[in-house]
Amino acid sequence: MADKGSGLDRREFLRRAAVTTAAAAWAAPVIQTVSASPAFATTNGTPAPGGCFHSNDDPAQSCMDACTSAANCTGEVCDGFGGPPGEVQGPCAAHCGISPGNQCCNPGLCNTANFVCTPGVDPAVYTGDLTGCV
């Protein structure tokens, strides 16, 4: 006489195999969708259409050039780097990449009209649109 308690019978094995296969078929596309999410692509937001950059050879495409072209602005108040420890970051450092060629999260960051600088106040103030920025 066979001992039925020592293992799975054929029906139980097939049922468990079907459940496992269905779970794997469901999980694979879900995992792929989650891992492909653009939410983790950048800390500064999605790059701006039109090629607006933190700094660039073309002043028409540079946050730093737009900010320093505004009245009384210097590079330090625009990016906040190179100053004392704990210094507040300027708008170009806050909303664009910090290396040459890094893109900004909104093309308005390359428009001089969107920056206001007050002498003695650090950092510069960005007054433009921040759609697409984090």
Question: pLDDT band for position 116 (50/70/90)?
Answer: very high
What's the pLDDT tens digit per position in 3-59? 555 566 778 777 777 766 765 565 555 444 444 444 433 344 445 556 788 887 776
Question: pLDDT band for position 61 (50/70/90)?
Answer: confident
Give Cα 65 distance to the centre of its chain. Answer: 22
pLDDT of residue 35: 45
pLDDT of residue 83: 64
53 forms beta bridges with 62, 103
Say which residue the tokens 């054929």 belong to. 10
122: region left, alpha or beta (phi > 0 left; psi from -120 to 50 alpha): beta
Q: How far is CA 46 from CA 39, 49, 75, 94, in A?
A: 9, 9, 24, 13
Sequence ranges of the domains in the chain:
9-35, 59-126
pLDDT of residue 118: 86
Q: Helix, strand, or coil here: 14?
A: helix
